[in-house]
Structures are given as structure tokens and as C-alpha cells.
């Protein structure tokens, strides 16, 4: 679901992203199609967020959510892929 076409609340987005990380943790890897290429995965992850200034609010909401942060750390420990870094980088580059 793309929030740019379907309005979602920040809570709904955080819930969606928690569920996404939980599934990735259960699988222990990125979807097979990405061949463990985190940057390629992020190219498909990004469009799931708004393509305007609201994306910053979405990333900030993820970074404020203790459960999402814990899941992000768990996935990083499992795979080396860092969703927290990706969210922070999105904010950093959008602010430049």
C-alpha cells in the first residue's frame, strides 16, 4: 500500500513496518529476489512511503517507536542490514 495514493496514519505506517520486519526476521533474510542486496531492497522499500515532506514524519515516527527499533536491531544482528540507518539516512538526505 502506498501512502501517496492511500492515506495512512503514522500509527498504521509504523504497524505495517513492524509487521514487515517481523516477517523478514522470521525468514532470516531479505526476499530471495534481492540476493541479499540491501540497497536494491531499499529502492523498493522507499516507494511504500509518501513522496513528499510527510515522508520525514513517517521516518521520524519509525525512529521514535521502541518496538520498530528493537526489530530493526534484531534484523541487523541477524543479517547486517540496518533499517534504522536507512530511516536516519532518509531524513538526513531530505534535510540537505
Q: How do residues 18-49 score in pLDDT, each as one tens digit?
A: 999 999 999 999 999 999 899 999 998 988 88
User: Cβ contacts of residue 46 below 8 Å, gap of 6+?
Assistant: 90
- Greater model confidence, 3 or 64: 64
Please give the residue that has the higher pLDDT: either 2 or 34.
Answer: 34
Sequence ranges of the domains in the chain: 14-94
Amino acid at each position: 500500500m502506498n501512502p501517496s495514493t492511500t492515506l495512512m496514519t503514522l500509527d498504521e505506517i509504523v504497524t505495517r513496518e513492524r509487521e514487515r520486519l517481523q516477517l523478514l526476521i522470521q525468514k532470516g533474510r531479505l526476499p530471495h529476489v534481492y540476493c541479499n542486496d540491501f540497497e536494491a531492497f531499499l529502492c523498493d522499500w522507499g516507494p511504500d512511503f509518501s513522496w513528499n515532506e510527510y515522508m520525514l514524519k513517517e521516518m521520524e515516527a519509525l525512529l521514535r517507536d521502541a518496538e520498530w527499533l528493537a526489530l530493526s536491531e534484531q534484523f541487523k544482528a541477524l543479517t547486517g542490514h540496518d533499517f534504522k540507518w536507512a530511516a536516519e539516512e532518509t531524513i538526513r538526505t531530505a534535510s540537505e
